[in-house]
Amino acid sequence: MAHAFTPGLKVTPRTTVVKERKLPLQGEVLVSKGQKVRAEEIVARTQLPGNVEVVKVAQRLGANPDELENLMLKKVGDRVEEGEVIARSAGFFGLFRSEVVSPVKATIESVSDITGQVVLRGEPIPVQVHAYVDGVVKEVFPSEGVSIQTSASLVQGIFGVGGETQGILKVVARSPDEVLTKDVITPSLKDCVVVGGAFITAEAIEKAVAVGVRALIAGGISDEDLRKFLGYDIGVAVTGSEDIAVTIIVTEGFGRLQMAQRTFELLKSREGERCSVNGATQIRAGVLRPEIIIPYDTDVFSLSPSSEEVSGDLSIGTVVRIIREPYFGQLGTVTALPVELTRIATESQVRVLEVELESGKKVVLPRANVEIFETVRA
């Protein structure tokens, strides 16, 4: 049987998810292998060096740099409070003395008799890493972090913004083609992950922020509304670090696009469950997909393998999503994989495939225009 490899977009009712949770620099791991953890639990922590503040002490005291050491009231390694005097001039016959105070709470890191400057190191910045998903510690990386394993439903989106969050999954749309409007965003959805249908309106985003919704999920969104919400254009960089009050994930793309029926049905079937969401996206090299992870409570703390995943091989019978116009966002099943190159409208010769859409219509497309819509064998 003909086959090829193509990138996949996972929408799976049950799979094994493993997440590495590592510190930006060495620190302390707080859990052990095999330990049960919840998404909000801190699994590792460390401290980043504080910010540096340079104070031109000699200049402010009207002294020469080589005189600085004798004017300092504090020495290297001393901790000082904000507003505390760190240096004082000799004055004139003990009078008219000038003083320099620390602008921050810090530790004196260096005193230079060449530049006349004092370097202050601010308070260490605590960094904590959470488990992110309910699960069990699969592996411990000493002084670095851990990996967490869970059995869960997994839905990957096309694009997202906003970082990691958790909440109860609530489906407010009655069908995958229903628009997510502000009218369905109520105070009862505070701290929830809200699922709509075909589109997220700008008013719905504003209402979600006001109510305290953790995340919004739907088929599509207007790029103009997203730009207005963020205050800038996204560009091609990795998303996920935006300073916004609600994470947003779209499963199909930009515009008014109906959520795939299978995706909607899967999310609907897990309504009311705790889930973890991350809007981080990278489209180019090293593809990173936004995700919704919904652990199973019954075996969330088991390290045993779960259902077998379908591989990334593209073959006859594989379910794919079309990622180019004019069939953008539609699902279909591969019915043929011709080996020979085919000339397309752009005059390029490429490898193609035949896809039967859910409507029954068969279309021929470049293989680069589809991605595998991965499922799991029960």
Residue 304 has pLDDT above 70, yes or no: no
Does the pLDDT of residue 95 top 70, yes or no? no
What's the alpha-carbon Rg for the chain, to the nearest Å? 28
In this predicted structure, what is the pLDDT of residue 307? 45
The 10s digit of each residue's pLDDT in 230-255 is 998 876 668 998 999 999 999 988 88
pLDDT tens-digit readout, 40-50: 999 999 999 99
* 348 neighbors 360 (Cβ within 8 angstroms): no
Q: How far apart are CA 353 and CA 368, in angstroms?
A: 10
Give CA–CA dist 187/183, Å, rounded.
Answer: 11
Q: Which residues contact 305 (CB under 8 A, 6 or more apart)?
A: 16
Query: Model pTM greater than 0.85?
Result: no
Q: 108: buried, middle or exposed (CB in 10 Å: 19+, 13-18, 0-12)?
A: buried
Residue pLDDT, tens place only, 140-193: 999 999 999 999 999 999 899 999 999 999 999 999 999 999 999 999 999 999
Size (the chain), residues: 378
Longest Cα–Cα distance of the chain, Å, equals 98
Is residue 85 within 8 A of residue 99, CB to CB? The reply is yes
Q: Are 211 and 184 in contact (CB under 8 A)?
A: no
Q: Give the DSSP H/E element, type plus range, for residue 262.
A: helix 261-269
Q: What is the pLDDT of residue 310?
A: 44
Query: What is the per-residue pLDDT across 121-149, written as a single tens digit (0 to 9) for each?
Result: 999 999 999 999 999 999 999 999 999 99
